[in-house]
Structure 1
Amino acid sequence: MGRPAGVNGADTRRAVRKAAIERIWRHGFEAMNLRDLAADVNLRLGSLYNHVPHKQEFLAELLEEIMLELLQDFAQRMDGLQDAKERLLAFVRFHIEWHTARQRETFIGNMELRSLTPEQYGRVIGLRKDYEAQVRAIVADGRKAGLWEVDDVRVTTLALLSLLTGISAWYREGGRLSQERLIRIYQRLALRVLGAR
């Protein structure tokens, strides 16, 4: 039960990651059994250790990878946008699309921070703060340009992020409202939160 012919290490790593996300989402990190994870991806337990040598470090790397992907995707989405209102609307769209497409990753990213060591926690939170800072810049730039009024840029940024991330907990594809309709609703909500003129 080694690696199937024609499957490379990167493919195996992706399969392990996908199976781990599913297991952590369903059962929690502490309950994730490496023997079961190995079975999920058709590997011997010994072979799994090539990809998961330390369970807790694997979680930290997984959460860091998720945040790095978020930051990279966000940078691509915002590339070339200058106007603060245009950036805000693009941010709302991006955040909702990304977090609803990756509901499991979002869930474990929020729930399993508690399972990290202080050093690992600091690394992941540092990446979150990078994302938060980029959103905060949008809010600050719009205030400076007179597009909206906010009492406190940081508090308003955190409120926006909480409002938008919460969708990942209840959104279901094929539900009463389409994703596009939700995005438009939340874009208007974001403008109201900011006191847009």
Structure 2
Amino acid sequence: MARKTGSHADVTGPRVRAAAERLIARHGFAAVSMRQIAAEVGLQAGALYLYTPDKQTLLFDMMRAHLEELLAAWAEADPGGAPLPRLEAFCRFHICFHLDRPDAVFIAYMELRNLAPGNFAAIEALRRRYEAALEAILVDGQAKAAFEVPDARLTTMALIAMLTGVNTWYREGGRLSRARVEEIYWDLARRAVGA
């Protein structure tokens, strides 16, 4: 099927991914059809396959793009140096980055079960790289007696779960500002590592 008149791959491709992200975050991967995604973008259903071979690939590409963007952004934001300021930077970065992308975060955590085994392994490897960045900070803090952490891996997972949980309840314009949420969560994380 021909591409819709006036469409361009560099414009329509991102629109397809954005529409899929909105629909999947709202209804779940299993409930969203390629036909619904095409309609959301204003394409004929067959034209969608010019931008992605199938729904599984679309889901994988969205998750991979999110995690690669996360890793690149943290690499840029990481101040290096002493463990305590690095942990604070990580906590604030994680909250800020994730609050700006609620649909991508929801999909990255809730739709893992819908990935084919090979795609799951690739996404899991990216997630582990991000987790390893925090774990390295905690291990460094233990080595320098800046943190009291009984198990760095377990503490890593607990902190990430706590920080990501902000997305489930935070609403812009609510009782707490983003800055205040960051302050409170940083205080909770600092206490969790005994600093």
Q: Distance in 1 between matches of 2:170 and 2:144?
A: 34
Q: Determine if contact 2:149/2:193 at 8 Å carries over to the other structure.
A: yes
Listed one character per residue, the Cα deviations across residues 24-82 of structure 1 (whole Å, up to 9, x for unaligned) are 0111111111112111111122221011211112211211111111101111111x421
After superposition, residues 73-88 of structure 1 pair within 5 angstroms as 73-78=73-78, 80-88=79-87
Gaps of 5+ in 2: none
CA separation in 2, counterparts of 1:133 and 1:100? Answer: 21
2:11 equivalent in structure 1: 11
- The DSSP-based 3-state class of the residue aligned with 2:111 is helix
How much has 1:87 moved relative to structure 2?
A: 0.7
- The residue aligned with 1:142 is 141
* CA distance, structure 2, for counterparts of residue 40 and residue 174 of structure 1: 28
Paired residue type of 2:155: T
Give distance in 2, aligned partners of 1:36 and 1:182: 36
> Could you say which residue in structure 2 is the equivalent of 1:95?
94
Task: Determine the structure 1 residue equivalent to 2:106.
Answer: 107
Q: Provide the residue aligned with 1:191 in structure 2.
A: 190
Alignment of 1:112-123 (within 5 A): 112-123=111-122
4+ long deviations beyond 6 Å: none
The residue that corresponds to 2:55 in the other structure is 55
Paired amino acid for 1:183: E
Residue number in structure 1 paired with 2:160: 161
> TM-score, normalized by length of structure 2?
0.95
Kindly state the Cα deviation for residue 4 of structure 1 after the two structures are TM-superposed: 5.0
Q: Alpha carbon RMSD of aligned pairs, Å?
A: 1.3
Number of matched residues? 194
Unaligned runs of 5+ in 1: none
TM-score of the superposition, structure 1-length normalised?
A: 0.94
